Chain A
C-alpha cells in the first residue's frame, strides 16, 4: 500500500461535520485512483504505531535514514509539514522504495499532498493513472464540497487554471507538440487548455485566437495587432478579454476583421 489517505480525519479534526454520503463517495473516488486505504472521519489521523515527526530530516542524510527505516517492515509514515517539505520528503521516501505514506488532499491537516504524490507515482511509472480520466478532477470537486473551501486556481495538479497559455514560445508549441511545455496533458486531470492573449503573446497565438473566435485577420496585420495587444495589456495590467481582442483586431485590420471567416 503506497498511499494512505487521511483527508477525512484531517477535515474532522478541523471541526468540520462531514456528510456520510460524501465521505463514502470520497472513498470510492480514491479507490478509482488506486488508493485503497482511506481513513474514516473518526479514525485517528496518526496510528499509534506510525512513524512520525520526521519533517526535520530534510537537510540531513535522509536517504540513509530511510534505508534503515525500510528494514523495520511496513509502517505508516507520517511526514509533518511544519517546515513545508512534507510532500518532498514523502516523494523521496516513495522514490527510494518506501510505502505507507499518510497523506491528504492538498496537504490538509499538515500532511503530504496526496494528489501530488499520486502524480509523482504516475510519472515514475510505479502506479499509472488512466490517460483519459476525470478522476482527479472529480476528487478536487468532492474535496471542495466536503471542506467548503475552493481550490486555488493554480494549485499543482488540481488547479483549473493550470492549462491556460499565453507566452509565445509555449503557445507556439501547442500545435507542434503540447508535451514540450506540459508535464502531463490536461485530459489526465480533467482540465482544458485556454488561450490568453496579452503582453507575452506571439503572432502565432494571435492567429490561433482569431481562428478560435472566427475573426479574420490578414497575416500582414499581425505585427501591428501584436503591438496594439502588448500596449493594451500593459495599460490594463492584465491580459485581454476576447471582446477586447476582437475590438483591437477590427481596428488593426481597418475594420475588415469579421466573425465567421478566415483570412
Chain B
C-alpha cells in the first residue's frame, strides 16, 4: 500500500459531542491552531445551528486555520446552511440520513421531501461558492436499494464528495471494503467516518483507505460518543510509513497530549453521573415524547 489520503479531524464537532466533554472557546482555538499547524488537511469545527454565539466562535476558529480546509456540520435545513455560510467555512457538510428508520422515526419525512430540502440547501451553498460534502448517515445499516437510491440522488445533483458514516459502529473490514468499493466504483470521492463500538474504528478506517477512500475522519484520542471515533494517533500508527497522512506519529502524540486533561475531566464527570442516584431516564421517555408531539 502506498499513496496519500487526507485527514479530516472532527474533534471539535463529533469529538466534543462525547457526553461530559466541553471545550471553552479558547481551548477550541488552541486545538484548531495545533491541528492546523501539524498538517491535518481538514478540520470539521462544529455545528453553526447551535446559535449566533456558536457562529461567532466558529468564525474565530476559522481564522486561526491558515493551512487546513475548514468545514461545518449541518442537517439538511436551510437555516443550518445559512448559519454555516456566515462562519466562512470553505466546506459545508450536509448530513443525509439514508435508512428508512432514520427517515420515518427521526425526521418523519419521505425521501422525496428530503431530496427537495437537499436541493434547496445546495442552491444556497452554490450561490456562495462554498464546497459541499454530503454524509450518508447510518450507511452501515442501509439496504442495497437505499444505497443505490442515495448514490443516484447525489449523482443527479452533481455531488461528488460523499462521507460514509458508520453511525453506530457496526462495520467490519470486509463490509467496509465492499461499501467503499461501491461508491468509488460509482465515481465518488469517498470520505470514511468510523465509530468504535466494536473496537474496529481504526482498522475499518485504514481498510477504507485501502479500498480507495480519499479522506479519513479522526478525533484526538478517538474521543466521541459511546466507544468513540477513530483515534488520530492510532490511525497514524496503523498506517505506518506506507500511507502518507500528512501528520507524523510524534505530531499525533503531541496533539493527543493537548486534549488529555479535558478527557480526564470528562471521565470523572461520567463516573459521577453513573454513581448518582437519579431515577432511570427511560421512565420519562413516554412523557417526553408526548410533550414533544404536543409542544407542551
Tell me which of A87, A179, A242 contacts B203 (CB under 8 A).
Answer: A87
Question: Which residue, of B21, B169, B199, B284, has the highest number of chain A Cβ atoms within 10 A?
Answer: B199
Contacts of B75 in A (CB 8 A): 169
Q: Which residues of chain A from 174 to 201 have a CB within 8 Å of any chain B CB?
A: 174-177, 179-183, 192-196, 198-200
Contacts of A235 in B (CB 8 A): 24
**B281 x A194 contact (CB < 8 A):** yes
Contact status of A193 and B227, CB under 8 A, knowing A177-B106, A179-B101, A198-B19: no
Looking at B86-94, B128-136, B246-254, B270-278, the stretch in contact with chain A turns out to be B270-278
CB distance from A3 to the nearest CB of B (A): 14
Is residue B59 within 8 Å, beta carbon to beta carbon, of the partner chain? no
Contact status of A196 and B20, CB under 8 A, knowing A153-B267, A177-B101: yes
Contacts of B237 in A (CB 8 A): 84
Is residue A212 within 8 Å, beta carbon to beta carbon, of the partner chain? yes
**How far does the alpha carbon of A61 sit from the alpha carbon of B172 in the complex, in Å?**
16
Contacts of A175 in B (CB 8 A): 285-286, 288-289, 292
**A196 x B27 contact (CB < 8 A):** no
Chain B interface mostly: helix
Contacts of B271 in A (CB 8 A): 153, 161
Is residue A59 within 8 Å, beta carbon to beta carbon, of the partner chain? yes
**A219 x B199 contact (CB < 8 A):** no
A191-226 CB mask vs B (1 if < 8 Å, else 0) is: 011111011100010011001110000010000000
On chain B, the number of residues with a Cβ less than 8 Å from chain A's Cβ atoms is 75
**A59 x B210 contact (CB < 8 A):** yes
Is residue A63 within 8 Å, beta carbon to beta carbon, of the partner chain? yes
B1-28 CB mask vs A (1 if < 8 Å, else 0) is: 1000000000000001111111111010
Contacts of A236 in B (CB 8 A): 22
**B266 x A170 contact (CB < 8 A):** no
B168-192 CB mask vs A (1 if < 8 Å, else 0) is: 1110111000000000000000000
Contact status of A88 and B273, CB under 8 A, knowing A182-B168, A219-B295, A239-B20: no
**B199 x A156 contact (CB < 8 A):** yes
Tell me which of A155, A172, A262 contacts B227 (CB under 8 A).
Answer: A155
Contact status of A88 and B172, CB under 8 A, knowing A212-B278, A212-B279, A239-B19: yes
Contacts of B27 in A (CB 8 A): 237
Is residue B265 within 8 Å, beta carbon to beta carbon, of the partner chain? yes
**How far does the alpha carbon of A91 sit from the alpha carbon of B207 in the complex, in Å?**
13
Tell me which of B51, B272, B291 contacts A207 (CB under 8 A).
Answer: B291
**B19 x A166 contact (CB < 8 A):** yes
Tell me which of A91, A159, A196 contacts B269 (CB under 8 A).
Answer: A196
Is residue B198 within 8 Å, beta carbon to beta carbon, of the partner chain? yes
Contacts of A174 in B (CB 8 A): 281-282, 285, 288
**B21 x A157 contact (CB < 8 A):** no
**A58 x B174 contact (CB < 8 A):** no
Contact status of A207 and B288, CB under 8 A, knowing A92-B172, A156-B227: yes
Contact status of A183 and B197, CB under 8 A, knowing A96-B174, A196-B20, A219-B296: yes
Q: Which residues of chain A from 67 to 105 have a CB within 8 Å of any chain B CB?
A: 83-85, 87-88, 91-92, 95-96
Tell me which of B167, B203, B227, B296 contacts A58 (CB under 8 A).
Answer: B203
Contact status of A63 and B288, CB under 8 A, knowing A163-B226, A183-B168, A239-B19: no
Contact status of A211 and B284, CB under 8 A, knowing A91-B172, A176-B105: yes
**How far does the alpha carbon of A261 sit from the alpha carbon of B153 in the complex, in Å?**
48
Q: Which residues of chain B from 229 to 251 have a CB within 8 Å of any chain A CB?
A: 234, 237-238, 242
CB distance from B269 to the nearest CB of A (A): 5
**B16 x A199 contact (CB < 8 A):** yes
Contacts of B287 in A (CB 8 A): 211, 262
Tell me which of B24, B268, B296 contacts A234 (CB under 8 A).
Answer: B24
**How far does the alpha carbon of A242 sit from the alpha carbon of B203 in the complex, in Å?**
38
Is residue A164 within 8 Å, beta carbon to beta carbon, of the partner chain? yes
Contact status of A237 and B102, CB under 8 A, knowing A156-B197, A196-B19: no
**B265 x A238 contact (CB < 8 A):** yes
**B295 x A204 contact (CB < 8 A):** no
CB distance from B222 to the nearest CB of A (A): 9
**B270 x A164 contact (CB < 8 A):** yes
Contact status of A241 and B272, CB under 8 A, knowing A88-B203, A234-B23: yes
Looking at A9-17, A112-120, A250-258, the stretch in contact with chain B turns out to be A112-120
Contacts of B24 in A (CB 8 A): 234-235, 237
Contacts of B284 in A (CB 8 A): 208, 211-212
Smallest CB gap from B99: residue in A = A180
**B265 x A237 contact (CB < 8 A):** yes
Contacts of A128 in B (CB 8 A): none
| Extra contacts besides A173-B106, A208-B288, A239-B266 (19): CB < 8 Å | A58-B203, A84-B203, A87-B199, A116-B199, A154-B228, A157-B197, A161-B274, A173-B105, A175-B285, A175-B288, A180-B105, A180-B138, A194-B278, A196-B20, A196-B269, A207-B292, A212-B284, A236-B22, A242-B278
A-B contact list, 14 entries, CB within 8 Å: A116-B200, A119-B198, A153-B271, A154-B227, A156-B199, A174-B285, A174-B288, A175-B285, A180-B138, A182-B226, A199-B23, A212-B279, A235-B24, A239-B21
